[in-house]
Structures are given as C-alpha cells and as structure tokens.
Amino acid sequence: MSAKGSFYITTPIYYPSSKLHIGHTYTTVAADVMARYKRAQGFDVMFLTGTDEHGQKIENVAKAQGKAPKEFLDKVVAEIKDLWKVMEISYDKFIRTTDDYHERRVQMMFEKLYEKGDIYKGTYEGMYCTPCESFWTESQLVDHKCPDCGREVTKTSEEAYFFKMSKYQDRLLDLFENVEGFAEPKSRVNEMVNNFIKPGLEDLCVTRTSFDWGIPVPFDPKHVIYVWLDALSNYVTALGYPEEVDGDFAKFWPADVHLVGKEIVRFHTIIWPAMLMALDVPVPKKVFGHGWILLEGGKMSKSKGNIVDPVVLIDRYGVDALKYFLLREYSFGQDGIFTNEVLLNRLNSDLANDLGNLVSRTVAMIEKYNGGVIKKGSAVTAFDASLSALAEETIGKVEERLDKLDFSTALDEIWKLVRRTNKYIDETSPWALAKDEHQKDVLDTVLYNLAESIRIVSALIQPFMIHTSRKIWTQFGLEEGDLTHWDSARSFGLLPEGLQVTKAEALFPRIDVPKELES
C-alpha cells in the first residue's frame, strides 16, 4: 500500500436500459476527478463503476426489442464502456451485476443474513413502483403515487423474504447523528432522519416472485433477490467479499465515498448501512448525494426522452470542455439547469478567454521577444511576489475544496490564479519592456513568471482536463514528470532555463454564441 494509504470511490451502477445521458456523465466525471486527484497525491486508488442489470424494467426493455436480456445488455454495456473511453474515465474496475462472481457473492450474502435470522420468510402486502423497482408503505406515498418518480404504484401481496431493517433503527440514527460526514450534504441528513428513520423503519421486502430476471435465492429459487439488495452489494462483491476478504476488500473497504444522485441517497444511507451492520461489516465513510442537472422542463429521464447526449457535446466542444463545464457550473450538492447558452458562455469566458488567451499570449510573447526560449531573468518587478505567493498557495486551497467534493470552488481557486496571471501581463506590459533594451532582464523575468504560473495551473487542472494539461506541456517543451506532477504546483520557480516553447492552435476556440445557438 502507498504511504498515503488507500482511497476507494464509487459511482452508482447505472441501469443499462438505454444510452446514458449527461446526468450519468456528471457523477462519473466527478468520481474520475477525485480518483485522478487522489492518485496524483500518491494514494492507492480504487475507482469502481458498472451496471445494474437485473430487474423487471430491464427484462421489459429487452423483450420490447425482441432480445434475450443478456444479448440486449451486452450491447448497451459495450456502448457505456465506449462512452467512458471517449471521456477518459479512469475507472479501475467495471462491475456488471450479471458477472458470475457478483451473483455468487450476493447469494452468499443473502444466505449469511438468512442464517443469522436477519432475513426471514413472510407475506408481502404493499405498494410497488415498477419503474423505480421500489416498495413503499402507504404513508410514504405522495398523493398515492411513488414519492421518487410520481408514477402509479400497484398493490401487491405475495410470499416473500424480509430483511429486518427495523432491528437497525437505533444504530442508523446513531450513524446519522454521531458520525461526522457520513451523509452529505447536510440537508440530506435531515431528510433521511425526519422522513424515514424517525417515523420508524419497517422490515424490507427483499425478494420477488413475479419475474425471473434476477439472482435466485439459493435455497428457494422461485424467489429472485430484490434488485436494490443485489445492486448495493456491488460495492463489496467487486472487492471480493464475502469470498476473498484478505485482498482488495481488506485494502479498500470501507469505501471513502459513494457518489450518488440525491434520489438514491435513501438506499445508500439506510438500506445499505443496515445490510452491512447485519453482516458485521463496517459502513462506508461517506455517501455524497449530489444535485440533479435539470432541463428547463424538469429532470432528464430516459423514459421521458428529454435528455442531453454527452457524445454530441463532446464531438462539438471536446471532452475537457464538457468536464470543466459540468464541475465548474454546478454546485455539487445542488440542482442546476442545463442550457446551451449557459454552456457556451462558460466555455468562452473561462476556457477560451481566461485560460486559452493566457497560454497563447504567453507563448506568442516568448517566441516574439526571446526566440521561443524560456530565460530566467535576475531582475524583479513589484508584481512578482504577489503572483508567486498566490501560485504557491493555490494547491492547498484546491486540495481543501476537493477533499470536500467541492469541485466548483476548487476550479474557481485555480481560475483566480489564471486571472491573476492575466492581470500580471497587464501590470508588467511586456510589449513596453520589449521596446527598451535596458529592460531586457525585467522582460525575461516577466516571461519566466508567466510560464511558471501556467505550469502550476497545468499541474492543477490535470485531474479535470488531462488533454489540456498535455497540450500546455507540449507547448512549453515539458515532458510529463517532476515538473508536471501534482506536487510540483507547491513551488514557484522550478522551470529550468532554456526550454523551447512552440506555438500551437488555440486550446479552446472562441465560440460565436448567437450563431452556435441558431445552428
């Protein structure tokens, strides 16, 4: 294990009922940035994502296409993996709930809970929402409809197995009230405690007999294991539990953070910890329920068809621009509205103007005034100290923000440095210095400081925009290594003399917004 220790981060495992949209991309990009950041800091990282493949909904979609579930799923899963490849998602493991090892381990977990008496056989009577695959009690319904999606629920009665969730009520309350940072943001804690735990937890129906596309109960195979039990278990089966507990499971569990959308916080902060408590397994350190990306008409939904396709945006503006936009524009815990105009204005102001111009102006000036060679002047200007101080301080601020999963303000800290560096150009006016040969040493200092500040920016943006960092390194004659490493952003003044800069095309071309919105 690395000196820094391990870091385990997960995304939800997505339903491969159709192509993924920008909402799924949002969670996955956030997890990817955290994984890259922690690796850059020297942690031993496990980043898990995957697909949730069982249940009636998937069975129905496959049937509608005239396909067997697995045949349908293999195609959609291949498309999802292609999307993550295009987006350079650096997952370490991709789990499918149809993987043999997962199915076997879920059965083992079910048996363990049954043997312990925490799963028992009874009769289920209640309300079921088919699209959400969720059971609800009458009191949880909103206007007699599913509280998650607002759709019709149907009354169901059948023999079923139950998980003794009620037994864990007090321990769950203790978890919410006394374990700092378990559920975040804080607003979600109150919702869970007041709406779900305090009114009293009921035992959870954890099997179905009305469809077959699922993992059978090992000792009673006409019952299929409830999809949420199957799905949540992925976070530990992927690590070997309960078959192999000495390898990845020992190293990475408990998870440092499960990233999820706010609509599934309930499953992750109540059902999942209760299951783990019953299995005598530690609960995850944190469940972070982020907000939704909404369209003007409401939440994107595969079934409503009002989705934004990430591939279309990537083809038009590039992967880095999309990643930057998603994490900079929206505050991670809150909802935000997606419009093309918001996207384009953000790309123009932050990427084309602030960062793109800074790099192209600096490279152009080093070419024009110094034949493309970076020189270290010995003079100082009145503006150097504040630039270098901010440059050295920025990494600490970014780390503090990222450790709180506050991506938007982390990027803003980096952009404060970008804007400060642009201001340094205005303050020092290199074009004026270039006209006076007595100022040559000052000019060298200024150009060096600009290059050095850009190097620090490029090291800090790498978890978010690896292509852009690489393009900057190429323009400044840098190879990936000590001078581009995350920690290199702690020190100003590392660039050696004599590096050769090379002009390249603009990092982010300026977009003509009215024209683009018309097309």
- Give me the residues that bind ligand ME8 (CB under 6 A), please: 12-15, 23-24, 26-27, 52, 231-232, 234, 260-261, 263-264, 292-293, 299-300
Pull the structure tokens for residue 383.
């503006």
Residue 437 Cβ, how far from ligand ME8 at the closest point, in Å? 58
How far apart are CB 303 and ligand ME8 at their closest, in Å?
10
Distance in angstroms (rounded) separating the CA atoms of residues 265 and 492: 42
Q: In what order do the strands lie in the sheet with 293-295?
A: 298-299, 293-295, 336-337
Q: Which is nearer to ligand ME8, 261 or 310 (CB)?
A: 261
CB of 457 vs ligand ME8, minimal distance in Å: 28
Beta carbon of residue 371, minimum distance to ligand ME8 (angstroms, whole number) = 50
311: exposed, middle or buried (C-beta count within 10 Å: 0-12, 13-18, 19+)? middle
The string over 362-375, giving b where at least 16 C-beta atoms fall within 10 Å of a residue's C-beta and e elsewhere, is bbebbeebbebebb
The nearest distance, CB 60 to ligand ME8, in angstroms, is: 15
Q: How far is the CB of 16 from ligand ME8 (least distance, A)?
A: 8
Cα-Cα end-to-end distance for the chain: 52
Query: What is the rounded CA–CA span in Å between residue 291 and residue 479?
Result: 38
- For 220, how many CA atoms within 13 A lie in the half-sphere containing its CB? 15
- Known binding-site residues equal 129, 132, 146, 149
Residue type, 29: V
Tokens of 176: 């919410």
Nearer to ligand ME8, 323 or 375 (CB): 323
**Helix spans in 263-303 (H):** 265-266, 272-278
Q: Which is nearer to ligand ME8, 95 or 366 (CB)?
A: 95
> Would you say 275 or 447 has its CB closer to ligand ME8?
275
Could you tell me which residues are annotated as the binding site for Zn(2+)? 129, 132, 146, 149
Nearer to ligand ME8, 300 or 433 (CB): 300
148 vs 354, beta carbon nearer ligand ME8: 148
Q: Which residues pair with 229 in a beta bridge?
A: none
- Sole residue written with tokens 């034949």: 371
Centre a 10 Å sphere on the Cβ of residue 277 and count the other Cβ atoms it contains.
Answer: 18
Q: Which residue is nearest to ligand ME8 (CB)?
A: 23
Closer to ligand ME8 by Cβ: residue 14 or 492:
14
Q: For residue 143, is it left (φ>0), alpha (ψ between -120 and 50) or beta?
A: left
Distances in whole angstroms, Cα of residue 440 to Cα of each of 376, 493, 501: 11, 19, 19
CB of 107 vs ligand ME8, minimal distance in Å: 17
Contact 292/337 with Cβ under 8 angstroms? Answer: no
Find the shortest distance in angstroms from Cβ 159 to ligand ME8.
Answer: 26
Structure tokens at 437: 């040969």
Compare residues 22 and 507 and give the one whose CB is closer to ligand ME8.
22
